[in-house]
Amino acid sequence: MNKPARSLPFIPVAAPSITEREGELAREAALTAWGPGHYAFNARFESMMAQYVGVNHAASLPHATSGLHLALAAAGIGPGDEVIGPDVTWIASMAPISYVGAKPVFVDILPDTWCIDPDAVEAAITPRTKAIIGVDLYGSMCDWQRLRAIADRFKIVLIEDSAEALGSIFDGKKAGSLGDMAVFSFHGSKTITTGEGGMIVTNDDDLFARIQKLRDHGRPPGDRFFQNDEVAFKYKMSSVQAALGVAQMERIETLIAYKRQLFGWYRDRLGYVDGIQLNAEPDLVSNSYWMVTAVPESSFGHDKFSLQAALRNHGIDSRPFFSRLTNLGAFKDHPQSVRPPLCKRSSDLAPTCGINLPSGYGLDENTVDRVCVSLKKILSTPALV
């Protein structure tokens, strides 16, 4: 007889992979990364990230949000400008547009990858459009060929939000190498973690010099005289966080392989179920599957919040598919636009049934089986209204 769910271990939706190596390097940084060696671990982490992604420059930051803020500021975007991005993503992808005083323009997403629709981007461009932010949602990849062509044609900046896609590949190129600038997140739930933290990367020498200055209160790198010539920001990562990042990057291929194996376990159990959509992996793409995402059809009688509640009753944590940003109170009083088409796919997908299933490190195939059995059981019984 199966044990009741309450007697089984609770399954978290995300968990990092931390070994003794992370502890060793963090301790070393705490003891030694001072004075002349204060930036040694940061420089090492940045070099590892730039080499892995395939770019010339990387700067470690407190979080990916600061990276998007710096990207917009470095590109000279400000009041009167418009920046196009997806209507369905985490708010941090679009909030920095307001930080620089520009206007966010929300457009539709694609039905398979859940990433920004290039056709909607092109339809939304005006003479005030200065940048596009493409979000590699849940490890999926935007259609970067189309977005690059659009950005080049209209001479606007292309920013890649790869916060959730470290290790994903589009047409042989790593996530983070496809925009003029790109950002990563190292939050505790991400593919690699520094607790909190982020990175901005670019191949552009001039943009990188501007980023370096803006992230350190408006003074150039190496300045020892504190003669700031503009008001800027304080966006740096600590050496202890960077040391954690070094240890994580030493195992990056193993971590990505685990994420792909984990998705394979879910696909084997849910991929054949009519009415459930899982993360896509189109031609040219290798998905790192940061979060395994399931989108059941509304005909099952559940929305994402009832699914979360039911899974929790089975001892399983989950997260809701991101909501439409234009439906959030956060943007109620902010200047913003929704451009044609009126985000029909966003309306159909985001508020309904999508959830992120447990996707952390340390799960085994039996645990995934438990999650899938519970999900299918829940979907077989419509939620109480």
pLDDT at position 381 is 86
Query: Do 347 and 329 share a structural domain?
Result: yes
Q: How far apart are CA 44 and CA 195, in angstroms?
A: 18
Residue 175: pLDDT above 50?
A: yes
Confidence of residue 1 (pLDDT cuts 50, 70, 90): very low
Looking at 249, 266, 294, which one is the last position of a domain? Answer: 249
pLDDT at position 4 is 47
pLDDT at position 70 is 98
Query: Do 25 and 174 share a structural domain?
Result: yes
The string of DSSP codes covering 174-227 is ETTSSSSEEEEE-BTTSSS--BS-EEEEES-HHHHHHHHHHTBTT--TT--S--
Residue 282: pLDDT above 50?
A: yes
Q: Please give the model's pTM, rounded to 2 decimal places.
A: 0.94
| Domain-located, residue 105 | yes
Query: Do 160 and 238 share a structural domain?
Result: yes
Query: Do 165 and 32 share a structural domain?
Result: yes
Q: How far apart are CA 117 and CA 124, in angstroms?
A: 11
pLDDT at position 220 is 81
Residue 362: pLDDT above 80?
A: yes
Q: How large is the average pLDDT for residues 337-356?
A: 66
| Domain-located, residue 53 | yes
| Domain-located, residue 327 | yes
Query: Do 356 and 287 share a structural domain?
Result: yes
| Domain-located, residue 284 | yes
| Domain-located, residue 5 | no
Question: For 206-239, how does the pLDDT look when each residue is reduced to its tens digit (9 = 90+)?
Answer: 999 999 999 999 998 778 889 898 999 999 999 9
Q: How far apart are CA 345 and CA 349, in angstroms?
A: 6
Query: Do 261 and 237 share a structural domain?
Result: no
Residue 142: pLDDT above 50?
A: yes
Q: How far apart are CA 324 and CA 12, in angstroms?
A: 25
Query: Do 306 and 225 share a structural domain?
Result: no
Query: Do 258 and 233 share a structural domain?
Result: no
Please give the tally of structural domains in the chain.
2
| Domain-located, residue 14 | no
Q: Which domain holds residue 168?
A: 20-249
Query: Do 271 and 143 share a structural domain?
Result: no
Q: How far apart are CA 124 and CA 341, in angstroms?
A: 9
pLDDT at position 268 is 98
Question: For 15-69, how does the pLDDT look when each residue is reduced to its tens digit (9 = 90+)?
Answer: 999 999 999 999 999 999 999 999 999 999 999 999 999 999 999 999 999 999 9
Query: Do 190 and 241 share a structural domain?
Result: yes
Helices 239-249/40-53 angle, 10° precision: 40
Query: Do 229 and 122 share a structural domain?
Result: yes
Looking at 249, 266, 292, which one is the last position of a domain? Answer: 249
What CATH number is attached to the domain comprising 348? 3.90.1150.10
Looking up tokens 């909190």, which residue turns up? 196
Question: For 194-210, how does the pLDDT look when each residue is reduced to its tens digit (9 = 90+)?
Answer: 999 999 999 999 999 99
What's the distance, Cα to Cα, between the start and end of the chain in Å? 31
Query: Do 176 and 64 share a structural domain?
Result: yes
Looking at 205, 231, 249, which one is the last position of a domain? Answer: 249
Question: For 100-128, how does the pLDDT look when each residue is reduced to its tens digit (9 = 90+)?
Answer: 999 999 999 999 999 999 999 999 999 99
| Domain-located, residue 187 | yes
| Domain-located, residue 3 | no
Kindly give, in sequence order, each residue whose CB lies less than 8 Å from that of residue 51, ignoring residues fewer than 6 positions away: none
- R_g over Cα of the chain: 21
pLDDT at position 335 is 65
What CATH number is attached to the domain comprising 182? 3.40.640.10
